[in-house]
Amino acid sequence: MNKYAKLFWILLFFFTLFAGRFFCQIPLDVEKSLKVEFKTPTGICFDGNYFWVGDLLTSKIGKINPENGEIIKIYDAPCFNVSSLAFDGRNLWVLDSKEKAIYSFDPERNLVLKTLPLDVDNPQGIGFDGKDIWISDSSEGVIAKIDTEDGTTLKSLTSPTAHKGRSQITGLNFNNGYLWVSERITDEIYQVDVENDFTINILKAPAPYISGIAFYKNYLLCLDYEKREIDFVKLPETGKAVRYNPRKETLSFYESYQNFGPGNLEELKIAIAVPKNLVFQDLNSEINFEPKNYTIEKDEWGQETALFTFKDIKPLEKVSAGYEVNCALYNVSFFINPKDAGSLSDIPPSLSQYLKDDVKLDINNDVIRNAVKEAVKNEKKVYYIARKIYKYIQDKMHYEMVGGWNTAPVVLLRGSGSCSEYSFVMIAMLRAAGVPARYAGSVVIRGDDASRDDVFHRWVEVYIPPFGWIPVDPSGGDYPSPVDQARCFGYLENRFLITTVGGGGSKFLKWNYNSNSSYTAKGAVKVATLKAGDWAPLSNFKNEPQLKEDKKSKTCAQ
């Protein structure tokens, strides 16, 4: 296969696997809204007593009562294009994106205290962190902290939507030590860890055209340009999972063998992982296994497995084992503030089995140990240990299905691997760093609701105290954009039925997931095998009431 053909298949695989990934956004409920008496409201901030909102059409700024939305007074803005607002504890800062300048402004005295030309091509949002002003620049894909004396850049962060083409950041706001960013094109709000330059959480904007954000009491305020409203929303409780966008499907999974002879297969054993109810999925029917002569046993990781045995399979004879099940799959988002996560000392001793070495991990290998030192350094917080290892692997590797599953040190040195190999590397590094880790394996809906999966997908689950097991997909998040990286850390979309959760080699599944098989033969044999999952939307789906979005918070542990 030439390199262009190989690139085509890799891109096709990622397109079918992650085509719907932008739907992983934490939904927000609007508790109340206030009408804004401006036709083109842009930019909002809170000064401790009042809301301030700009109007693009009239070049005015309104002082607004936060209880009823009444405009107390309207002021002339210090510029023509009011693009974004911030409050520094004493005065307003007003951004004019066309003039590429910001203005320190005392509206009560109608006094411009300072004008700062900006050395950026496309400034869009402005925010204040308690000491310094921050400006977003979509042309460079950065958010910069600037010196309010002369406008020079003091620090730069990667914009959440960098490397994704057109971007329009409409607001920046700091709250509880995090930077919050509103984005109009994606209709999303991002929580950013400034110190580590990580996009952490992704929220679905409650407004059709979000034109600014602020915080008031326990509310996130979203200014809506289209509806001309200020929406009051509550953030999810940290450490809880939110599930939404249910998808109802039927899965037929099977593993088939055909013996082309000339000898007989004396014995064929097929082990099939049994899926169960999880926060990510509800099984809406009994699991119908075929054939009926099977037993179910648990492996050393607690994974239930259906065991089938076939004997004396003659030439041209075909056998198959599998199941059919109806299920509802959910987008699941784990809302975590890293500062609320525990340290290594908070990990329960009962999870020690998820710290052990195994043949595919080789955690004491110098390659793994040195990689952990380079990635983690002296970090003790489990969230940041996991996030830094996640980023390290993505910086060092690229996705490639080369066949076979090598050990973690070999894969990391090679710099490429499949989803399973990415998972082995991350599990090895996490365990070497003292963090419990395991894997989840799944059957995947490939694009259309009716589709076949014969590739499957595996990712990592990391234990972050006190929240529990969190899904992390190091291969799925291996993209340059911070928001795409964030979508695969604590998020799982409604395209995966998890069949397998394991911590290493299994006595039934070995290092496989979904299913595993082995046979003995008498004489020479040629065997054809097929392992696949066929998806179909439930036949009576259109006649049933739609499942409502389930926004109930559930604990992360499964």
Contact, 493 vs 24, CB < 8 A? yes
Q: Check residue 326 and give its pLDDT.
A: 98
Q: Check residue 138 and give its pLDDT.
A: 87
Choice between 51 and 147, residue whose per-residue pLDDT is larger? 51
Q: Check residue 153 and give its pLDDT.
A: 87
Number of H helices, E strands in the chain: 6, 36
**130 — alpha (psi -120 to 50), left (phi > 0) or beta?**
left
Q: Check residue 23 and give its pLDDT.
A: 58
Q: Check residue 406 and give its pLDDT.
A: 96
Q: What percent of the chain has pLDDT over 90?
A: 86
Q: Check residue 539 and give its pLDDT.
A: 66
Max intra-chain CA distance, the chain: 97
Residues forming a β-bridge with 225: none
DSSP conformational letter for 2: -
**For the segment 499-536, what is each residue's pLDDT rounded down to a tens digit?**
999 999 999 999 999 999 999 999 999 999 999 999 99
User: Peptide bond before 409: cis, by omega within 30 degrees of 0?
Assistant: no
Instruction: Average the pLDDT over 357-383 and give the result.
Output: 98
Q: Which two tokens stand for residue 305?
A: 């497995």
Q: Check residue 412 and give its pLDDT.
A: 98
Tokens 């002339």 locate to: 76
Q: Which amino acid, residue 164?
A: K
pLDDT surpasses 70 at 556:
no
How far apart are alpha carbons 217 and 546 in whole angstroms?
36
pLDDT surpasses 60 at 557:
no
Q: Check residue 196 and give its pLDDT.
A: 95
Confidence band of 553 (pLDDT split at 50, 70, 90): very low
Q: What is the pTM of this model?
A: 0.91
Q: Check residue 544 and give its pLDDT.
A: 42
**For the segment 189-215, what is each residue's pLDDT rounded down to a tens digit?**
999 999 999 999 999 999 889 999 999
E strands present in 129-216:
133-137, 142-146, 153-158, 169-175, 178-183, 188-193, 198-204, 210-216
Confidence band of 152 (pLDDT split at 50, 70, 90): confident
Confidence band of 548 (pLDDT split at 50, 70, 90): very low
Say which residues have a Cβ less than 8 Å from residue 91's Cβ, sequence separation at least 6: 104, 105, 106, 113
Instruction: Average the pLDDT over 111-117 and give the result.
Output: 96
**For the segment 306-344, what is each residue's pLDDT rounded down to a tens digit?**
999 999 999 999 999 999 999 999 999 999 999 999 999
Instruction: Average the pLDDT over 179-187 and give the result.
Output: 96
Q: What percent of the chain has pLDDT over 70?
A: 92
**Average pLDDT, rounded, for the chain:** 92
Chain Cα centroid distance, residue 445: 18
Q: Check residue 61 and give its pLDDT.
A: 98
How far apart are alpha carbons 382 and 379 in whole angstroms?
8
pLDDT surpasses 70 at 348:
yes
Q: Check residue 549 and give its pLDDT.
A: 40
Q: Check residue 165 and give its pLDDT.
A: 77
Residues forming a β-bridge with 145: 134, 155
Q: Check residue 32 and give its pLDDT.
A: 96
Q: Check residue 388 and give its pLDDT.
A: 98
**For the segment 4-27, what is each residue's pLDDT rounded down to a tens digit?**
444 444 444 444 444 444 457 899
Instruction: Average the pLDDT over 24-49 and give the result.
Output: 95
**For the segment 464-486, what is each residue's pLDDT rounded down to a tens digit?**
999 999 999 999 999 999 999 99
Backbone angles phi, psi at 304, to 5 degrees: -70, 135
Contact, 82 vs 41, CB < 8 A? no
User: Peptide bond before 262: cis, by omega within 30 degrees of 0?
Assistant: yes
Following DSSP, what letter does each residue of 186-255 receive, concatenated?
TTEEEEEETTTTEEEEEEE-SSSSEEEEEEETTEEEEEETTTTEEEEEPPPPTTEEEEEEEEEEEEEEEE
**For the segment 231-271, what is each residue's pLDDT rounded down to a tens digit?**
999 999 998 899 999 999 999 999 999 999 999 999 999 99
Instruction: Average the pLDDT over 269-280 and give the result.
Output: 98
Instruction: Average the pLDDT over 402-429 and give the result.
Output: 95
Say which residues have a Cβ less than 8 Å from residue 216's Cβ, sequence separation at least 6: 46, 51, 66, 232
Domains of the chain: 25-235 (2.120.10.30), 243-331+509-540 (2.60.40.2250), 334-502 (3.10.620.30)
